[in-house]
Chains A and B, each alone.
Chain A
Amino acid sequence: AQKVTQAQTEISVVEKEDVTLDCVYETRDTTYYLFWYKQPPSGELVFLIRRNSFDEQNEISGRYSWNFQKSTSSFNFTITASQVVDSAVYFCALYGGSQGNLIFGKGTKLSVKP
């Protein structure tokens, strides 16, 4: 079965702290894709990154970085020097549903306090 686990339900940090959001996935596919989305209170999903299973290079985009480790089936997301605007719910997702849909984790609510 395909599954995405985000064990952290809520995280609260103070501005400028670094924070890592964990994501563990399960799949039997050899080719798969992983995503991270940000969902602010408005509800709209904001795409952050997509990673395919053949590319294990870590990625950095500004204050955001991602650590993909196939050996542990993890795709963790780190925000460096967090800001209040980073407050949102973050979803990790796996492309691999039987019909081509995404399978989402339960999400991690990040609160960044000033």
Chain B
Amino acid sequence: GAVVSQHPSWVICKSGTSVKIECRSLDFQATTMFWYRQFPKQSLMLMATSNEGSKATYEQGVEKDKFLINHASLTLSTLTVTSAHPEDSSFYICSWTGGREIRGTEAFFGQGTRLTVV
């Protein structure tokens, strides 16, 4: 199956700093990647859709200036949390479902990044 590699797997940063999370598709080209956020003991919620070569689309309530998404190539999407605050502490996970079609038998997820802002 397709492999999505995400790193770092965990990061601790100081309040006010920025953190970049990378998501790479290792054996396929991803025109679309999804970024989800999961607060402790909650479900995964779609934050934004990363589109190669164009602007990301954000879900309602997600600040696009705070969560910068760059999808400059078909194999790399990045999420940068700018001026992080403790309330941004969460588990962030990227995913590929082949855009509007599912390739293979599953949607593919990165390993996730646990962000702690102190």
Contacts and interface: CB of A to CB of B under 8 A. Distances in A.
Given A44-B112, A45-B109, A50-B106, A100 B43 contact: no
A102 B107 contact: yes
B109 A97 contact: no
A57 interface: no
A103 B111 CA distance: 18
Contacts of B107: 35, 47, 50, 93, 95, 102
A106 interface: yes
A102 B97 contact: yes
Contact of A99 (B49, B93, B112): B49
Interface string A1-33: 000000000000000000000000000000001
Given A43-B114, A44-B109, A33 B102 contact: yes
Interface string B13-32: 00000000000000000001
A58 to B, nearest CB: 17
Interface of B: 32, 34, 36, 38, 42-46, 49, 57, 91, 93, 95, 97-102, 105-107, 109, 111-112, 114
Given A33-B102, A102-B95, 12 more contacts: A43-B114, A44-B112, A45-B112, A47-B106, A91-B44, A93-B107, A95-B102, A99-B34, A100-B97, A100-B100, A106-B42, A107-B43
Closest 9 CB pairs of A and B: A43-B112, A106-B43, A45-B109, A47-B106, A101-B34, A104-B44, A100-B100, A99-B49, A104-B43
